[in-house]
Structures are given as structure tokens and as C-alpha cells.
Chain A
Amino acid sequence: MEPFTPKTSISDAGRKVFHVRGLTKVYGMGQAEVHALAGVDLDLHAGELVVLLGPSGSGKTTLLNNLGGLDVPTAGELRYRDFDLTCANETDLTRYRRDSVGFIFQFYNLIPSLTARENVALITEVARDPMPPEDALNMVNLGARLDHFPAQLSGGEQQRVAIARAIAKRPEVLLCDEPTGALDVRTGIVVLEALERANRDLGTLTVVITHNAVMAEMADRVIHLSDGRVLSEHRNAKRAAPSTLNW
């Protein structure tokens, strides 16, 4: 595929990556109409680590899916740099996801028939400026488990492979939907460390959805969603290291 956008570098830090205004997403019609997003205004900047909080059903996942180009909004503005996500076609969206976005899911979603290394290599082979799969796996401390299949890895290890897979292409955005939701505390911290490190070393804009308010301490910025709107947001003076988080 054609290169999509120029890559960011750490020197871009602070530049606006997402421009979100009046973002609305309506599911269903008539009686069954659900306003998952009801006018979200938001700017996200390069290099930031953002934590999204909110009660169940508040629209966090919906927002993330719209940012990631998995879903198109019903109304409002949604731009990734100069790329208008509201009216992009399928091919452009695919290219956008391939080149610019790294996804991390609650249930890891590795390809079960590929080893850790191959799961990562799958992406690096088609990415524009990837790092070697081994380096990505080293970053998440899995250098010793390169040739293991997902079924041979623990949940935390699988999630770290998923992070390696997401960061190996040096994406500009890392979108994580409850990345520790299926993990215990200790494992969760190891995963968060991997995420934090990727954000720090690569300068990747990282958005993390969580139900765990404690995790907000590791963020640059915390955004609260409620009923499809931004309820509040605040900036942490200092990011706490994941290992110091107290569940």
C-alpha cells in the first residue's frame, strides 16, 4: 500500500493528532435509538498518555472505535491530522489502521496459529518503518518466548505480545480497551509498564480505557466520559510509574 502520512518523531511532541468536535454516534433507530456518543469535544496530542474513565455504557469503547477507524460517527468532526475520518472509505480506513494505529484488546486477540514472533512479524512485514519483531518483543520483556504459540503463554504474556504487535510498526496512536481487564494485579502492572515504556520511548499517543481509577495516576491526562459526553478532564502534574500504583 501507499505510505499514508509522515511519521511522527519525539520532537513532534505536543502537536495535535486528533481533532474531535461534537462527535455523535447513534445506534439503532426510532424507539431503539441509543446515543452512544452525544457530542464529544476533544483534542489529543502526540506523545500523550490519556486514560479514559467512565461508567459502563458511557461510550468509551464507542469513542475508541471511532478514533481507530473501526466505526464511523453519525455526526460531528473527527480528524486525524489532516485525515477526515468521518467520510473516509474502507480502503483509506484500512490503510489508516495499518500505518498509524496500534490496537490492544481486552482479550489479546492473537492469531492462535502463529507464534509470538510471527504474530508480530505479521504486521512488521507490511508496515512502513517497523522495528524488528525481536526488538518489539524485547521491549515487553518477552525476548525468551519468541517461538511460543499463544496457547503456550499466560494471559499477561499474551497481552504483552499484543503490545509488541501493536508497537512494532511504530504507530502514532496506540488504542487500548481495558488492556488489563482480564488480568490479575501483578500481571496487569507488568502490562502497564510495557505500555508506559512504549509511550515514553516511542512517543506514541496512547489512549487507555479502564474501569480502574487508580490507573489514572499514570496518565498525562484523564478524561471522564458519561452518557456519551466528556464530563471532565484533568492533567496530572506528574505521571506515576505503574509499579507504584496502588490497587
Chain B
Amino acid sequence: MLPNLDRKLLRDLNRMKGQAVAVSLVMACGLAMLIMARSLIHSLESTRQEYYEAQRFAEAFAHLKRAPNSLAARVAEIPGVATAQAGVAVMVTLDLDGLDEPATGQVRSLPDFGQPELNRLFLRTGSWLSPGSRGEVLVSEAFAEANNLHPGDKLAMLLNGRRKEFRVTGIVLSPEIIFEARPGASLPDNRTYGTFWMPYKEIATAFDLYGAFNYLTLTLAPGAELRPVLAEVDRLLQPYGGRGAYGRADHPSHIRVSDEIRILQTLSIGFPAVFLSVAAFMVNAVLSRLLTLQREQIAILKAFGFTNRQIVFHYLKFAFVMVIGGAVVGAVGGVALGNKLVVMYHLFFRFPDLSFRLDRSALVMALAVGAGAAMVGVFSAVRRAAKLPPAEAMRPEPPANFRPALIERTGIGHLFSHSFRIAVRNLERRPAQALFTVAGLALATGILIIPNSFRDSVTELLGFQWDVVQRQDMNLGLVEPASIQVRDLLRQLPGVIAAEPFRGAAARIRFGHRSRQIGIIGTPADTQHSRVIDGKYREIVLPPEGLVVSTKLAEVLDVKVGDELTVEFLEGRRALRTVPLVGVCEDLTGIAAHMDLRALNRLLGEGDVINGASFTLDMAHRAEFLHALKKIPRVSWVGIKESLRENFRQTTAASINLIQSIYLVFAIVVAFGVVYNNARISLAERSRELATLRVIGFSEREVGAVLITELTILALIALPIGLLLGTGFAKGIVSAVNTETVRLPVIFTLHNYAFATMVVTVASAISALVVLRRLKELNLVSALKAPE
């Protein structure tokens, strides 16, 4: 049989079920967020780790021009190196039926027989290459999906200028391309860029690299340090056109997953903390009220000999029912959200199996944090009750003390209506309750700002990158640097309105002890295509000498205009030069260094050459232009602005929409919950006052206005704070993603603020109305009776 005290608990809970549910739901939001974020971190981290281990993902990487295979053995002997694997990685142009724009890809070599030591592939469908095969290829899953390729399909490539047809035997995944994008590009375009694997013999022969390698990966011996190994590798590869070795921390795919994990970490701490403190306060408010109502009951319990401990425990149980309710809903919600978000990651990240993995420790943490929050909430309220001597508790609570509110003491008090006075004085008398209601509403407003701000930032980024900076419709890269005369040839392609040549050169830029490996882009000084833009969106004309680098690169290298930079070219004659920094420019993706084309060519000392061009096109002739391009063997890659943009827009739109709907639900729950809780408590504590007003002749509407005024004041305080808070949240998150790959501008629009304000206002108003309906049930006669 249920102990009587517990039966009382159940009846009390039943009477306060609305508020108990509100508390549980707000708590559930915090816990769901916590469980979701921690579990996603766990899913990504552990899946990536297992994937890396199973496929033996390398720990250091280096591209070079060409070195004899014998060099690989010497690399393997470097102290600290466990395994070194040499191979070939080359850019190729693809010829796909049904794709009117040229696609490019990177082909990597696989051992002719057996598995590679490092960076093993995972076969999704189809079969491995048959030993010693020719004309067979494995295709990366992202590309295969985007182009609807299946095992058995045919695929044509231009290998070193020769068109050859291949049969797709299998669709594979590689730990090297969890995030797959064209090198140097920050946005994926899986339709026009893919990765392919062929036997070493076939690909090396086609590129005259047989017996040699141009790509090296290695793992470290346990306990070995990365830096000295990289330095030694660089030293060995230097004579062979080494472009600088790097570790996982600079590996493009690895970075992207790490960035995502970092964002999740921010989310998993900040939001749950605020949600839970609001919930803790709500527990406190609900219990304080219950205790006030039950002063006499407590006194009687004590008079009957129940100990303080038993009484505290009794009310703690009350709170724990709410915590457990919140934890269950939070866990279910967190798992459901996590499962949805994991699917979203499939758009960007390719794992053999990325499924949601519940972080059990997060579950325990959530319960502990929720219980802790409730304890804090319960403690002060219950302690007050437990301290009451039984006799005192028998008497009704003394009348509340009031005084003129702060705002009235400014001397404008006479301007206020009575309901306004009642409202502000009540708020001032209960600052904590007001504070947490404001906190809850502000939080609800704040979290709504984030997804829209993100959306606006991405739109701004795309607009900046593709309307302000890149005026061209298309970029094209050549397999090898060619004389500038090629430009005239390219200009004659059908539909070309303007063509501008460019030269990209891999280099390491050094200032003091800081350095970055980067492609220096040489363009005509007054380029109208890949424009160089300053912080105020003004065009920069490249000076005849010197470098202009992006603000981020200047920051990374800690240089300012006028400093002399050391530039070590990683191709051609590998010239080592000192170049002054003559300007900084604004860009939002990657880190760039610009230079006048002729100045760059002078530094390189290879004569007037280019290795790519950009075009503006007459869109009516787009198809002919692309068709003509496919026939030029020297073209290595093509990037079409519109398709990149569209692709990106779709994937980000999908994920932002998902996040927005999650935040929307959270915001509504919190706004509704805190307003409901606040209004119910006011209604209960002041039912006598409100009934009196009704008796002496105020209408229901006028009495409701007293409570509404109070809530309106709170909302008016909370909304601006919430907008500020949201601005801060968004800035924080955006700066967490402010990396060398992407720098989102922080954009806040009126529309964003208006939307957040509207959602919170509507949710609060509906919640208030739900509570105010109870005014109808207010018992007028009870006001005449003795106070309870």
C-alpha cells in the first residue's frame, strides 16, 4: 500500500499538473539539447576514430612533383615513422554522359595486388578491382550518388590528354575524404568533382610516373612527435618538388569533421546551462507556492512528529517526479533529434556507417544535472518551510510588504494607471521570479536568432563570394602552365564575353616563425573576374609589385602592410624570394594571396605563363561552350559558379531548416512554459486580491489586465535582452566556425529580430490566455471568507 504521505504527493501533483508539466518540458529542452549534442559528438568522434583505425588513416601527408619509389624506403626510415606509403595522385578531367559541364576528379593509385597499407578503402557496393586489371575504376560514393553511377557503368576520363573509358567496379569510401571537396575549395560540389582509384600500373603509366610517386602518406610510431617528422620529410622531398608535408590537423577532410565537433561542444554547454537554470527556478517557484499553501499541513506534520528530514525528503520527491519526467522526455527528444541530425551529416560527411550513438554518460550527466538543478530549486524553498516552528506555521502568512516601485520614485509615478502600479510593485517584490521569467523569455528569443542569423550569414557569404568577388561565370584550370597566348585561344571559344588569365602557384609564405602553405594567385592588376576587395567592398587594384593577402592570412601570419614576407615556391624552380606585403583584402572562404600576374611570373622566373582562366559567358551559348571545353585535353578542372551555388544553397538550406525547426520548438516550449508558470503562480497567490477586484466591480477583462500588464512588462524587458543575447549567441557560434576555411560574416537582419520577437510574443500571449481562462473560475464568494 502506498504510504499516506506519498498519496498526498500524488494528489498535490495532480493539482499542479499544468505547472509540473511546464517545468518538465523546459527541463526536457535543456536535457534534450545536452543529450543530442553530447551524443552527436560521441557519434562523430567514435565513428571517425573507429573508421580511421579500421582503414588505417595516415597521420601525415605530402604531395610532391615526382620522386623515385626508392625514396619511399628512405622516408620509412625516418625516426618516428611507422609506415610510409607512396602512391600517385593526379587530377583528371571526366567526360560524363548527361552532365553538360566538365567534371574533374582526382585519381589515386592502389597497389596492383593486395590492399594498401594505409588509407584503405571501404567497399560500399560492387567489387574490388580485379588483380592486375586494366580499364577498371573505383568511385567515391559522394560522386557516384550525385551522378547516379553504379557498378558496371562506364565512365570516360582524360588521362594526361588521352580519353579512355573505364568500367566502374565498385563504389567506395575513404577515410581521406569523409568530407570531399576539390582541393582548395571550401564548398563541396559532388556532381563535378570526385575521387577515383585505379591500379598503380595503369595510372602511373598514363602520367609517365611509373616507378615513381607524387603522393606520400605515413603513420607515426607510437609516441613519436609529428613536427620533427614533418621537417625531415620536407627535407627529403625538397629536391623532388615536395609541397610541404602536413599532419591530420591540416588535412582538409579531418578539419571539417573537427570543426563540426567543436561547434557541437559549444552547443552542448551553453544552451543546456541556461535552460536548466530556468527550469531550476521554475521548480523553486512551484514548490515555494506549494509550501506557502501547505504551511499548515507542514506544521501539522511536524506537530505529529515527522522530522525535518522526512519533510524535506517529501518535497524533494515532488521535485524529482518533475526531473524524472523531464529526463525521460529530454532523453527521448534528444535521441530523436540526434537521429535526425545524424541524417543531415550524411549530406556532408561520408562514413561507412554514421549512426546515432547515444552517449550514455550524457544520459547520466543529464539526470545528474537535472536533479542538481531541481535540488537547488527545492532547497531554499524547503529549508524555509522546515525551519518553521510548528506553532508559527499554523498562522496564515503575514500580509505582504510593498513599497512604491523604483520607477515610481523617479517622480513620474502619477502617470501610471493602477494596474500598472500593481504590476510593477508585485514585480519588484518578487525580483527572482521576475528575473527568471525574463531569463526564460530572453532565452527563447535568443535561440530563435541563431538559425536565421546563420542563414543570413550564409546568404551574405555566397553573395559576397559569388557576386562581389567572383564576377566570372566559370573558372578553368590547365593541366600544366602554358604560355599566355593560350588566352587568345580560350577567348575564341563560343559564347565567351570576356576571359581573363590567371596563374596559381603553390608556395609557402613565411613571416618570423609562422608560415602557411598556400596558392598564390596572379591576375591582371585590374582583374574584373576574381576581384580583390577591401573591407569596405571596394575594389583593390593590385600594385605592380608585392602581395595582397586576405585579412585572415595576415592575422595567421601576424603581418601588417609593409612587412617583408619570405615566399618559397613549391613548384617549378622552387624559387625563394622576399616579397613585401602591400595590402590586405577581404574574403570569407579560404586564405588567399594575390599578386599582379606579371609580378608573379617574374618571381617564378618561368616567363609569361598562365595555368588557368576565368570567363564571363553569354548564357545562351553555355552548352556550346561547355561542349567545346570537353574537347580541350589540357583542361584539368572546371568550376561553374551557378551549379556550385545551387548545390550549396540546397544542402545548407536543408540543414538550417532542420535546426531552425528544432530551435523553434524549444523557444515555444520555453516561452509558453515560463509564462504559464508565472501566470499560474500569480493567479494562485493573488486569487483573493483578484476576487476582491471582481467583487468591487471590476470586469473579468479588467482583472485579467492586471496580470497581463505584469507579463507585458516582463516581455518588454525580456525581448530586447533576448535579441541581444541571441546576437551574442550567434556571434559566439559564428566565431567558433571562423576558421581558415570559412569565415561567416555576422549578419543580423530586422526580419530575423522581428521573427524571434513575434514567435515569443505569440507563444507567451497564448500561454497567458490559457491561464487567464481560469479567471472565469475565480470564486468571488471566497474573497469574503477568511484567508486560507
Is there contact, CB below 8 Å, between A94 and B699? yes
Is A103 an interface residue when CB atoms closer than 8 A count as contact?
Answer: yes
Given A105-B783, A121-B418, A125-B418, check contact A112 B400 (CB 8 Å).
Answer: yes
Residue of B nearest to A105 (CB): B784
Residues of A within 8 A of B783 (CB): 105, 109
Given A106-B786, A111-B689, A113-B402, check contact A118 B421 (CB 8 Å).
Answer: yes
Is there contact, CB below 8 Å, between A97 and B695? yes
Is there contact, CB below 8 Å, between A94 and B418? no
Is A114 an interface residue when CB atoms closer than 8 A count as contact?
Answer: yes
- Among candidates B425, B694, B695, B697, residue contacting A126 with C-beta atoms closer than 8 Å: B697
Is B399 an interface residue when CB atoms closer than 8 A count as contact?
Answer: yes
Residues of A within 8 A of B400 (CB): 112-113, 151
Is A227 an interface residue when CB atoms closer than 8 A count as contact?
Answer: no
Is B403 an interface residue when CB atoms closer than 8 A count as contact?
Answer: yes
Residues of A within 8 A of B695 (CB): 68, 70, 97, 103, 109
Residue of A nearest to B418 (CB): A122
Is there contact, CB below 8 Å, between A103 and B418? no
Residues of B within 8 A of A123 (CB): 696-697
Is A145 an interface residue when CB atoms closer than 8 A count as contact?
Answer: no
- B691-713 contacts to A (CB < 8 Å): 692-700
Given A94-B698, A111-B422, check contact A177 B784 (CB 8 Å).
Answer: yes
B426 to chain A, nearest CB (A): 6
Is A150 an interface residue when CB atoms closer than 8 A count as contact?
Answer: yes
Bound form: Cα–Cα A122–B695 in Å: 13
Give the A-B pair count, Cβ closer than 8 A: 89
A4 to chain B, nearest CB (A): 10
- A95-147 contacts to B (CB < 8 Å): 95, 97-99, 101-103, 105-107, 109-115, 118, 121-123, 125-126
Name, among B401, B402, B700, B783, the residue most crowded by chain A CB atoms within 10 Å (CB to CB): B402
Is B489 an interface residue when CB atoms closer than 8 A count as contact?
Answer: no
- Among candidates B403, B693, B694, B780, residue contacting A111 with C-beta atoms closer than 8 Å: B693
Is there contact, CB below 8 Å, between B787 and A107? yes
Proximity bits, A168-194, B CB within 8 Å = 1, else 0: 000000000100000000000000000
Is there contact, CB below 8 Å, between A149 and B401? yes
Is B688 an interface residue when CB atoms closer than 8 A count as contact?
Answer: yes
Residues of A within 8 A of B698 (CB): 94, 98, 126
Bound form: Cα–Cα A89–B780 in Å: 15
* Interface size range on B against A: 20 to 34
Given A118-B418, A150-B399, check contact A94 B781 (CB 8 Å).
Answer: no
B759 to chain A, nearest CB (A): 32
Residues of B within 8 A of A125 (CB): 418
Is there contact, CB below 8 Å, between B697 and A65? no
- Among candidates B418, B422, B780, B786, residue contacting A107 with C-beta atoms closer than 8 Å: B786
Given A112-B399, A151-B400, check contact A90 B697 (CB 8 Å).
Answer: no
Is B773 an interface residue when CB atoms closer than 8 A count as contact?
Answer: no
Bound form: Cα–Cα A114–B425 in Å: 8
B707 to chain A, nearest CB (A): 13
Is there contact, CB below 8 Å, between B689 and A71? no
Is there contact, CB below 8 Å, between A111 and B692? yes
Bound form: Cα–Cα A161–B781 in Å: 21
Residue of A nearest to B703 (CB): A94
Bound form: Cα–Cα A112–B425 in Å: 10
Residues of B within 8 A of A118 (CB): 418, 421
Is there contact, CB below 8 Å, between A65 and B781? yes
Proximity bits, B409-445, A CB within 8 Å = 1, else 0: 0000000001001100110010000000000000000
Is there contact, CB below 8 Å, between B696 and A97? yes
- Among candidates A1, A65, A95, A114, residue contacting B422 with C-beta atoms closer than 8 Å: A114
Residue of A nearest to B427 (CB): A113
Bound form: Cα–Cα A90–B698 in Å: 11
Is there contact, CB below 8 Å, between A165 and B780? no
Bound form: Cα–Cα A68–B696 in Å: 10
B763 to chain A, nearest CB (A): 28
Residues of B within 8 A of A112 (CB): 399-400, 402, 689
- Among candidates A90, A95, A151, residue contacting B700 with C-beta atoms closer than 8 Å: A90
- B740-788 contacts to A (CB < 8 Å): 780-781, 783-784, 786-787
Residues of B within 8 A of A115 (CB): 404
- Among candidates B404, B425, B426, B696, residue contacting A103 with C-beta atoms closer than 8 Å: B696
Residue of B nearest to A94 (CB): B699
Residues of B within 8 A of A103 (CB): 695-696, 784
Is A61 an interface residue when CB atoms closer than 8 A count as contact?
Answer: yes
Residue of A nearest to B688 (CB): A109
Given A94-B697, A94-B698, A94-B699, check contact A65 B784 (CB 8 Å).
Answer: yes
Given A105-B783, A149-B403, check contact A113 B697 (CB 8 Å).
Answer: no
Is there contact, CB below 8 Å, between B784 and A71? no
- Among candidates A90, A91, A106, A165, residue contacting B696 with C-beta atoms closer than 8 Å: A165
Residue of A nearest to B697 (CB): A98
Residues of A within 8 A of B425 (CB): 113-114
- B670-697 contacts to A (CB < 8 Å): 688-689, 692-697
Residues of A within 8 A of B787 (CB): 107
- Among candidates B402, B426, B688, B696, residue contacting A149 with C-beta atoms closer than 8 Å: B402
Bound form: Cα–Cα A18–B28 in Å: 58
Is there contact, CB below 8 Å, between A113 and B421? yes
A27 to chain B, nearest CB (A): 11
Residues of B within 8 A of A1 (CB): 699
Residue of A nearest to B398 (CB): A151
Bound form: Cα–Cα A98–B787 in Å: 23
Residue of A nearest to B404 (CB): A115
Residues of A within 8 A of B399 (CB): 112, 150-151
Residue of A nearest to B776 (CB): A90
Bound form: Cα–Cα A239–B780 in Å: 33
Is there contact, CB below 8 Å, between B697 and A70? no
Residues of A within 8 A of B398 (CB): 151
Is there contact, CB below 8 Å, between A97 and B402? no
- Among candidates B401, B418, B697, B781, residue contacting A114 with C-beta atoms closer than 8 Å: B418
Is there contact, CB below 8 Å, between B696 and A98? yes
Is there contact, CB below 8 Å, between A113 and B429? yes
Is there contact, CB below 8 Å, between B426 and A113? yes
Bound form: Cα–Cα A109–B786 in Å: 10
Bound form: Cα–Cα A59–B165 in Å: 104
Is there contact, CB below 8 Å, between A109 and B692? yes
Residues of B within 8 A of A150 (CB): 399, 402
Residue of A nearest to B400 (CB): A112
Bound form: Cα–Cα A99–B398 in Å: 32
B775 to chain A, nearest CB (A): 12
Is there contact, CB below 8 Å, between B418 and A151? no
Bound form: Cα–Cα A126–B698 in Å: 9
A174 to chain B, nearest CB (A): 12
Name, among A99, A122, A125, the residue most crowded by chain B CB atoms within 10 Å (CB to CB): A122
Is there contact, CB below 8 Å, between A151 and B402? yes
Residues of A within 8 A of B403 (CB): 149
- Among candidates B401, B692, B694, residue contacting A151 with C-beta atoms closer than 8 Å: B401
Residue of B nearest to A102 (CB): B696
A68 to chain B, nearest CB (A): 8
Given A65-B781, A71-B781, A151-B399, check contact A101 B699 (CB 8 Å).
Answer: no
Is there contact, CB below 8 Å, between A61 and B421? no
Bound form: Cα–Cα A149–B787 in Å: 19
Bound form: Cα–Cα A103–B698 in Å: 13
Bound form: Cα–Cα A111–B422 in Å: 8
Is there contact, CB below 8 Å, between A70 and B699? no
7 residue pairs, one from A and one from B, having the closest CB atoms: A98-B697, A113-B425, A109-B692, A97-B697, A113-B402, A151-B399, A70-B780
**A-B contact sample (15 more), CB < 8 A, given A98-B698, A111-B422, A118-B421:** A65-B784, A70-B695, A70-B784, A90-B700, A94-B697, A103-B784, A110-B692, A112-B400, A112-B689, A113-B400, A114-B422, A125-B418, A149-B401, A150-B402, A166-B696
- Residues on B lying within 8 angstroms of A by beta carbon are 398-404, 418, 421-422, 425-426, 429, 688-689, 692-700, 780-781, 783-784, 786-787
A-B contacts, 11 listed (Cβ < 8 Å): A70-B780, A71-B780, A97-B697, A103-B696, A112-B399, A112-B402, A113-B402, A114-B421, A114-B422, A151-B401, A151-B402
